[in-house]
Amino acid sequence: MEHEGGNGGRPVGDRRMEPCHLGVWLWAAAALVGGALMAVGFDARTPLWVIMGVPVLALGGLALYVVSVYIPERRLVRRLREKVEAYESSCTDLQEALDALRRGDLVAARECEERLGQPFRQAMALAIRSLEGMVREIQKDSVEVAAVASNVHGTVSALASGSSQEAAAVIEITATMEELARSAAQIASGASGQAERAVRAQEAGEEGARAVEEAVEGVESVRERMDGIASRTEALDRRSREIFGVLGLINDIARETHILGLNAAIEASTAGEHGQRFNVVAQEVQRLADRSRESVEAIRTLLGDFASSLQETVQAAEEGRVAAGRVLDKARAAAASIAELRTALEHTATAAREISFSTQEQRTASDQAVATLREIREVAQRTAASLQEFTGAADRLDRLGLSIQLATQSFRIESDRSLKHLLMGWSEQLTGFSGHGEVVEGILRDLVEGNTFIEFAYLVDPGGSMVASVGNGTVEGGEAPVASVGSGRVFADRPWFQAVMREGGSVVTPPYRSLATGQECFTVAVPVRGEGGRLEGVLGVDVNVAGWTGI
């Protein structure tokens, strides 16, 4: 924006002074010409004082004019010129100040403001102070906005994640409740069937109890009969023993008869011829005795067999009686068990009916819970979707906070939060060293090590070639800065370089994704000036957004 009063002040003064000087000279010329004409036109009669009076008057008028008009005017013009020069200087300073303001360099604007005259100086000071205060306020607020936005973003992300997890959990719970409802239905069905089976088992138990009672009665009857058999068998045993006694008697008789027969035969043999017929009788007696003994032996054998059988019968009857007693005991125990079983089955049937009823109620409750959970799931899903949108809004708010912060960084103010101001201070350390890459690398290393938010710091010469660069190893995940001197890389096509070269002031780029770290960063670049404001290079710094906003 060209200032209109740049070179136009002096012609204006000259234009205003030229009529004055012309009037003086015209007045002097008129006086002289008038005097000459009067000298020529007047005759002798004309008095000399008349003739001389005209030039004198002219000269007097001229002198009066010079004294009263010309000299004051010249004084006025000189003062006016001084004023104009001061005005022009002020305009220049004002232009520079406004230019600094346009660049956002409030520090330079303040330096220009100090050279301004009143009332511009006061107005400019007020404007700069007001603007600086506003920038500081916005900067502070933007930091808070960024922090709040970051917190909101984190909170909303956590809420969205939690809500999504909640929705997933609700889905799982719904599935579980549905499974529970199905299980409850199966249990109800099973319990109902169990109740029916328990009733049938109870009926079967009653039939079994009756059968066992009949079995007990039968076993008791068997035992009584076994007792009768045992008693009768004992009677038989006694009789058989009596028979044995009789057989013994018969045997004795037979033996005596046998001996009698032998004695008779012996007597007959001693009787000679007369004893022959007696001997026949004796032999018959002896034969009868022998047959009796044989019969007795046969009966004794048979009776022994009978006695053995009878003994076995007695023993079997006893064993049967004992077994019948045991069977009776077991049958009675079985009857008691069946009675308990019937009671248990009755309880089982009652419990199964209660389980069936309870599980049906549980199924109803589960169905209601499933319906409620489905509603909750829909609400949770809607909440998750809303929070997802809210996450986008928080993200935009975060971006907005960052944009505001970057916008405030476009101003240079005397503050440690002003990157341009920091870089301008750092650039002064580099003044005169642009040709010494190692020195520049050392200065940049100190800068990087002292400011963790810097990803890269570099100095580029006016031709756009890299003089030196230092990367922050901490930001990159390393431990030490990574330095490079005279790599020969060309940055002439970079927008920040072109902007600094074009504007002559500092620039702040929009945020972008760092190739080194993959994180968001932006570049701040300032000119490095030497003696007489000569441009020696451009100092650039890649600022990590998270690291910068975290300070």
Partner 1 sequence: MQDPGTTAADRYLLVRSGEERLALPTAKVVRIVDGMEVHPLRGGAAVFVGLARFSGEPLGVVEASGRPVRPGPAVRRTVVVVRHRDRLLGITVDAVERLAASGEDLDGWPIPDMDRLAKAGGGDDGA
Binding site for partner 1 (CB under 8 A): 255-256, 258-259, 262-263, 265-266, 269-270, 286
Both tokens of 409, joined, read 């960084």
Using a 10 angstrom Cβ sphere, with 0-12 exposed, 13-18 middle and 19 or more buried, the burial of residue 402 is: buried
What are the DSSP calls for 6-41, one per residue?
Answer: SS-HHHHHHHHHHHHHHHHHHHHHHHHHHHHHHHHH
Identity of residue 72 = P
Kindly state the smallest distance separating residue 278's Cβ from partner 1, in Å: 14
Kindly state the smallest distance separating residue 258's Cβ from partner 1, in Å: 7
Nearer to partner 1, 7 or 270 (CB): 270
Nearer to partner 1, 192 or 295 (CB): 295
Identity of residue 458 = Y
Nearer to partner 1, 269 or 519 (CB): 269
- Return the sign of the alpha-carbon dihedral for residues 378, 379, 382, 388: negative
Distances (CA, A) of 389 to 151, 336, 401, 414: 16, 75, 18, 40
Kindly state the smallest distance separating residue 287's Cβ from partner 1, in Å: 10
Kindly state the smallest distance separating residue 317's Cβ from partner 1, in Å: 39
Nearer to partner 1, 110 or 258 (CB): 258
Nearer to partner 1, 265 or 543 (CB): 265
Both tokens of 128, joined, read 């700069």
Kindly state the smallest distance separating residue 297's Cβ from partner 1, in Å: 13
Kindly state the smallest distance separating residue 273's Cβ from partner 1, in Å: 15
Q: Of 413, 498, 487, which is closest to residue 444 (Cα–Cα)?
A: 487
Kindly state the smallest distance separating residue 243's Cβ from partner 1, in Å: 23
HSE-up of residue 202 (Cα within 13 Å, Cβ side)? 15
Both tokens of 449, joined, read 């090590």
Nearer to partner 1, 292 or 484 (CB): 292
Both tokens of 105, joined, read 């360099």
Kindly state the smallest distance separating residue 223's Cβ from partner 1, in Å: 50
Nearer to partner 1, 80 or 250 (CB): 250
CA–chain centroid gap for 165, Å, is: 9
- Say which residues have a Cβ less than 8 Å from residue 398's Cβ, sequence separation at least 6: 146, 149, 150, 152, 153
Q: What DSSP character marks residue 456? A: E
Nearer to partner 1, 254 or 341 (CB): 254
Q: Is 513 helix (H, G, I), strand (E, B) or coil?
A: strand
- Say which residues have a Cβ less than 8 Å from residue 170's Cβ, sequence separation at least 6: 373, 376, 377, 380
Identity of residue 263 = N
